[in-house]
Each structure stands twice: as structure tokens, then as C-alpha cells.
Amino acid sequence: MTGRRAVGALVVLVAALLLYAWIDGGEEPLRPIAEPVPVPEGIR
């Protein structure tokens, strides 16, 4: 009976973790990547 209870608790824990990950989404808003790029002076 104890093993069955442990498996049930593990299933509930995994389900709660998956639910949290689904709600959180894990996505961050996109930010523009702007950096100055050195350009050689001799090329034209």
C-alpha cells in the first residue's frame, strides 16, 4: 500500500510541475539586437 501511495504522490507532483510549466510558458519577449559593427574604411 505504501508503494502505491508513493507512486500516486509522484504522479501528482509531476502533473503539478507540468501544469506550472504550461502556465508559465517559458517564453521571454523578443528584444532587438542592436550592436555597432566595425566597418573597414578601405572598402567602397
pLDDT digits (tens, 9 = 90+) for 26-41: 777 888 889 988 888 8
Using a cut of 0.75, tell me whether the model's pTM lies above it: no
pLDDT at 40: 85
Phi first, then psi: give them for residue 17, nearest 5 degrees.
-65, -45
pLDDT at 43: 63
Domain ranges of the chain: 1-25
Nearest to 6 by CA among 14, 44, 27: 14
